[in-house]
Amino acid sequence: MIQIELKQSIIDYSKELVDNNNFGQRSYDNGNKKEQLIGIVSENTIRNYLGYELIEAKGFDGGYDIMYKGMRTDIKSMTRKVEPKPYYVNNIFDAQIKNNSQAYIFSSLNVSNKILTICGWITKDEFISKATFYAKGAERIRGKEKFILRANNWEIENKDLNYF
């Protein structure tokens, strides 16, 4: 896993983007402004790390964010207050599986220390074969937190991802 310290300039740029644009272009599960900001900061941090330009304001991205290893790749991020472990999970809503991506990069943004961890990447086909599907309404437990899934969901552990 690769750890990247967040840059204040990327946070500020991303906040301005989210404040001035609607990044929720799906028919549902668009995330609130805070969730959108986490996604945009994470994507911009990875873009910067890989040498890509930062996101510009636009509509729906077609279901992928960058070309990585010659594949249309969607960057996924979740927030944590601790460093991710190999058994921690990453998730994708079932509705997003149909998007035009061929691979995923998973990251974890630690809001306590402002470190983004790139957990790994995986092709969509590998993801579907290795991930576990949970139906909407299923009870999930992560650490001490128990919650009910609001949508059909796929989960994969960090240890099952390809190293970056």
CA–CA separation, 138 and 146 (whole Å):
10
Asked whether the beta carbons of 1 and 120 are under 8 A apart, the reply is yes
User: Phi and psi of 141, rounded to 5°?
Assistant: -125, 125
Condensed to tens digits (0 to 9), the pLDDT of residues 66-98 reads 999 999 999 999 999 999 999 999 999 998 898
pLDDT band at 44 (very low <50, low <70, confident <90, very high): very high
Condensed to tens digits (0 to 9), the pLDDT of residues 147-160 reads 999 999 999 999 99
Strands (E), the chain: 2-5, 66-68, 71-80, 89-93, 103-110, 115-123, 132-134, 139-142, 145-148, 153-157
